[in-house]
Structure 1
Amino acid sequence: MATVADFRNDIRPNWCPGCGHYGVQAAITDAVVALGITPDNLAVISGIGCSSRIGGYFYAYGAHTTHGRALPYAQGVKLANEDLNVVVCGGDGDAYAIGMGHTIHAFKRNVNITYVVMDNHVYGLTKGQTSPRSDVGFVTKTSPHGSFESPLPICETAIASGATFVAQGYMTNRAELVELIKQGMQHEGFSFINVFSPCVTYNKRNGYDYFKENLTSLSKVEGYDVHDRAQALKVLGEYDGLVTGLIYQNTEKPSFEKAMAAANGGPHPRALIHEVAKPSQELFDQLCEEFK
């Protein structure tokens, strides 16, 4: 049985003191330990940004990929080894700007991985520019008169794009966040969890006090049904997206892996390769000659 200590390595995180990402890392660790996952059965894939450094702070398999490209890499990892638990991490800049094309297609494709996005409404690594999630009026070096673009309604976008598990957490509410990550990793298909993770250095507007005053737990919304797509969109609109909890779950849509197997009329192609075309030295030598 793995413990929290088993997932620690010798690399000390260099996030700013008070950064919300510390809480996200702790929540992911607690979740995988609670699920009985061991370091040799976990891959943490990340992109570029303050949040994406997280993969280097886990003792597990991982890859620190290019900006905005963590999802295609992670989907390849999962399809190559379906037994591996794959968690993808990024920030709102990495996920919703340069990586948004991949994010949209991951929502609809439904590969069985979990995507945890640390949303601080700002670009932290490059020293404080507006992100796709920044509020109107947010003053930064690139918006000295205040941002005039509307923030991207990401949870609504995920639901509209066909995502089958959409949740939102706040890193200070660790118990709820751990539970959301556990549920996401147990969900059959693509799990998307947007996490409010304040940047104490470059975003004084959306800090701890702001989220404490403005977030509403869906547990307080009477009669809320996580399987009701229309209700999920309606509630998100009413609360301007500032809710926490499991927002929407579709358990009827098959995962990409199951859909691909059905389309191929049998098991996963990787399994067929092992059964039908068993590797041999003769085959290896033949391929070497062919591709010389």
Structure 2
Amino acid sequence: MSENCEFKYTDYKNDLRVRWCPGCGDHAILNAVQKAMASLGVEPHNVAVISGIGCSSRFPYYMNTYGFHTIHGRASAVASGVKVANPNLHVWQITGDGDALAIGGNHFIHLIRRNIDINVILFNNQIYGLTKGQYSPTSKRGFISKTSPFGTVEDPFRPGQLALGARSQFFARTIDKEIKLSVAVMEEAAKHRGASIVEVLQNCVIYNDNTHEAITDKKHKADRTIILKHGEKMIFGAERNKGLVMDEDHNLKAVTIGEAGYTLEDILVHDAESYHVSMHRKLSNMEYPELPVALGVIRSVKGVSYDESVNDQLEQIQAQTSVHTFEELVNSGDVWEVK
């Protein structure tokens, strides 16, 4: 990241016309990523944006950076190769719930397990949009679509639960229309050394409009979501009078401060940096109407990244070997010349 240059978000935009549907949440996510990059001071030529297949995966076309539009479900694999081959690049993977969690599920979980220093932005609109409205791995049970005309009979993936199960060291969640929150979360993701997963609750205006409306509508968003901040009380509500406590069964419970004997002192403090993952799992799994949906950085712990380990290993081997070039390699051992 550059400390000597100041960038504007427009430095990361190019001249191509953005070809997403009017009103699509992807527009807001693109804006947030560009603003985050400007705030971080990352030179555009030091950024690579990798995508798979889907509406979200058109993202690289609209970035004034290096980019690679790969094939369905393989963005994690290609992004991993890019980062390991050039550890100095800031690599961002753009993917959707279908691209990452269905055909790309295996690559996704192993990117996380290896802790490769890649910023993954997972667009979750609970639908296949590009292929015209089939249900996805995150579609709700009973969801009616072209491939489930009588309603799905499957339970959906919870991206946070999946990521944490794969030993994710950074997981965060935001909403497409919440630009300020998205920028803050993406900045934290980029600063994290290792794999960072940011789930964005995104709206598809054509095939699954208002899928997140129960928690994103301005009328009741404050009472149905909670923005977590490390080291602060987990308080929410339009009047900031609600909070999270642990009940006698060690489950999270939403309470009103001042009622039923609960005081501010009873409200839990968010610790995103705890290595004990159980609380992070509870927070990532919260769903309305039982509990508010958690937004912000849920987990952020330090660890050794795969690309860092590979680079260290190569340096150690190179320091010990007498072979330093390809010519030395092919001429080592028994060599003869055929004339």
Letter of the aligned partner of 1:249 in structure 2? S
Letter of the aligned partner of 2:164 in structure 1? I
Alignment pair present for 1:242 and 2:289: no
Partner of 1:288: none
| Superposed counterparts of 1:93-242, under 5 Å | 93-208=98-213, 210-212=215-217, 213=221, 214-219=224-229, 220=235, 221=244, 222-228=268-274, 229-239=277-287, 242=293
CA displacement at 1:261 relative to structure 2: 4.5
What TM-score do the two structures reach when normalised by structure 1? 0.88
Partner of 1:289: none
CA displacement at 1:151 relative to structure 2: 1.1
Structure 1 unaligned residues grouped into runs of 5+? 285-292
**Which has the larger Rg?**
2
CA displacement at 1:243 relative to structure 2: 1.9
Q: Which has the higher helix share?
A: 1
Taking the aligned partners of 1:133 and 1:186, their CA distance within structure 2 comes to 28
Alignment pair present for 1:277 and 2:282: no
CA displacement at 1:217 relative to structure 2: 2.2
Taking the aligned partners of 2:152 and 2:14, their CA distance within structure 1 comes to 40
Letter of the aligned partner of 2:271 in structure 1? D
Preserved CA contact (<8 Å) 1:136 1:146: yes
Partner of 1:79: 84
Alignment pair present for 1:69 and 2:119: no
Taking the aligned partners of 2:165 and 2:209, their CA distance within structure 1 comes to 31
**Which 10-residue stretch deviates more, 88-97 or 138-147?**
138-147
Letter of the aligned partner of 1:256 in structure 2? Y
- Residue 315 of structure 2: SS of its match in structure 1? coil
Preserved CA contact (<8 Å) 1:199 1:207: no
Preserved CA contact (<8 Å) 2:47 2:91: yes
**Which 10-residue stretch deviates more, 236-245 or 47-56?**
236-245
Alignment pair present for 1:19 and 2:24: yes
Q: CA RMSD for the aligned pairs? A: 2.6
Cα deviations across residues 85-124 of structure 1 (Å, max 9, x unaligned)? 1101011100111000000101100111100011101000
Taking the aligned partners of 2:180 and 2:286, their CA distance within structure 1 comes to 25
Preserved CA contact (<8 Å) 1:224 1:231: no
| Structure with more contact order per residue of length (Cα contacts < 8 Å, sep ≥ 6) | 1
Partner of 2:315: 267
Preserved CA contact (<8 Å) 1:139 1:145: yes
Judging changes above 3 Å, is the alpha-carbon distance between structure 1 residues 248 and 40 closer, same or farther for their aligned structure 2 residues? Answer: same
Partner of 1:257: 307
Taking the aligned partners of 1:186 and 1:51, their CA distance within structure 2 comes to 23
Preserved CA contact (<8 Å) 2:201 2:212: no
Letter of the aligned partner of 1:260 in structure 2? V
Letter of the aligned partner of 2:297 in structure 1? L
What TM-score do the two structures reach when normalised by structure 2? 0.76
- Residue 248 of structure 1: SS of its match in structure 2? strand
CA displacement at 1:25 relative to structure 2: 0.4
Judging changes above 3 Å, is the alpha-carbon distance between structure 1 residues 215 and 143 closer, same or farther for their aligned structure 2 residues? Answer: farther
Taking the aligned partners of 1:23 and 1:184, their CA distance within structure 2 comes to 18
Cα deviations across residues 115-157 of structure 1 (Å, max 9, x unaligned)? 0011101000001110001011211111111122111011011
Taking the aligned partners of 1:261 and 1:78, their CA distance within structure 2 comes to 11
Letter of the aligned partner of 2:115 in structure 1? N
CA displacement at 1:267 relative to structure 2: 2.8
CA displacement at 1:8 relative to structure 2: 1.5
